[in-house]
Amino acid sequence: MKASYTKSKAMSKIASYALLTAVLALFAGPLFWMLSTMLKTKAETYRFPPSIFPREATFDAFGRLFTVQPLMWQWIGNSVIISVLVAVGTVLSSSLTAYGFARFDNRIKNGLFFIVLMTLMIPASVMIVPSFVLFTRLGWIDTWLPLIVPAWLGGAYYIFLFRQFFMTIPRELDEATFLDGGGRFSVYWRVVMPLSKPIIVTASIFAFVFSWLDFLGPFLYLKSSENYTLSVGLQFLIGQTSQDFPALAAGAFISILPIGIIYFFAQKYIVEGVVLTGSKG
C-alpha cells in the first residue's frame, strides 16, 4: 500500500514537472527564438532548415538597426520620458483620489467609488473617437499631451489598488498626526504614502509598462517621426528593414529589455503590493 502511494506521488510529481516544462517552452520559446535570431547573420536567417543556435554569434544587427534608422535613440528617449511622466502622474493622482475614498467619511463615498469601478467596464475602443475629437479641438494632435495628461487625472484601476491598500493602514496613525498639528494632507504625504511603498512601486511599474508598450495611442496622436515612441517607430521600421530579420529582432529586444529589468528587480514589491491590496475590503 505504501509503495503504491509512493509510486503514485512520484508519477504525480513527474507529470507536474512535465506540464511546467511544456508551459515554459510555450512562453519562453518565442523569446529564445528572438534572441537567437538577433545574434545571427542576415544570410543565416534564410538557410533551410533553420538553425536553433547561431553558427557565428554577432551583434552586427544592432549596428544595422541604428544605421538604417538614426531616430532610434530619439524614439527610445521619447518612450522613456512619456512612460516616466505617465507613471508619476498615475501614482500622484490615483493615490490622492484613493486617499479620499479610504479616509474621508460621507454618505456618497461608496456611491462615487462604485461609479469609478463601473468605468472599468467601458471598453477602451468606445473612447477612441470621442478622445480623438477632444484632443483635436484642444490642438494636442502630434504632441505628447494626449498620452501624458490623462494619467494625471487618475485611473480607476489604480484608484482601486491604492484605496484597498490604504485601508490596511491603521487609522490610529492619522489621529496621532492630527494631535501633532498635522492636517489631512500631512497624513497623506507624511504617513500614508511612506507606508505604501509596495503599492507605489507596483502601480508605477504597471503604468510604466502599459505606456511603454502602448501602440494605439501614439499611433493615433503622433504624426511626426521625431515624436514617435519606440513601439510606433518599430512598426515604421518594418517597412524599411522587412527582410533584415536580425535587425528586427534586435529592435524587439530593445523594446522588451527595460520591462525585463524592471520586473526582475521589483518582483518582490509587485507580489507584496498585490497580496496586501486584497487583504481588506
pTM above 0.75, yes or no: yes
Superfamily for the 62-277 domain = MetI-like (1.10.3720.10)
C-alpha cell at 38: 538577433
d(CA 115, CA 137): 27
Per-residue model confidence as pLDDT tens for the chain (281 residues): 555 657 777 777 888 888 888 887 787 878 888 888 888 888 888 887 878 888 888 888 888 888 888 889 999 999 999 999 999 999 999 999 999 999 988 888 889 999 999 998 988 889 999 999 999 999 999 999 999 999 999 899 999 999 999 998 998 988 888 888 888 899 999 999 999 988 999 999 999 999 999 999 999 999 998 999 999 988 888 776 667 888 888 888 999 888 888 888 877 777 766 666 655 54
Locate the domains of the chain by residue range.
Answer: 2-60, 62-277
DSSP helix, strand, coil percent of the chain (3-state; round to 5): 75, 0, 25
Whose CA is closest to 87, among 227, 200, 218?
200
- CA dihedral in degrees (252, 257, 262, 263; nearest 10)? 70
3-state secondary structure 127-163: HHHHHHHHHHHHCCCCCCHHHHHHHHHCCHHHHHHHH
Q: How far is CA 253 from CA 21, 31, 231, in A?
A: 24, 9, 12
d(CA 233, CA 52): 28
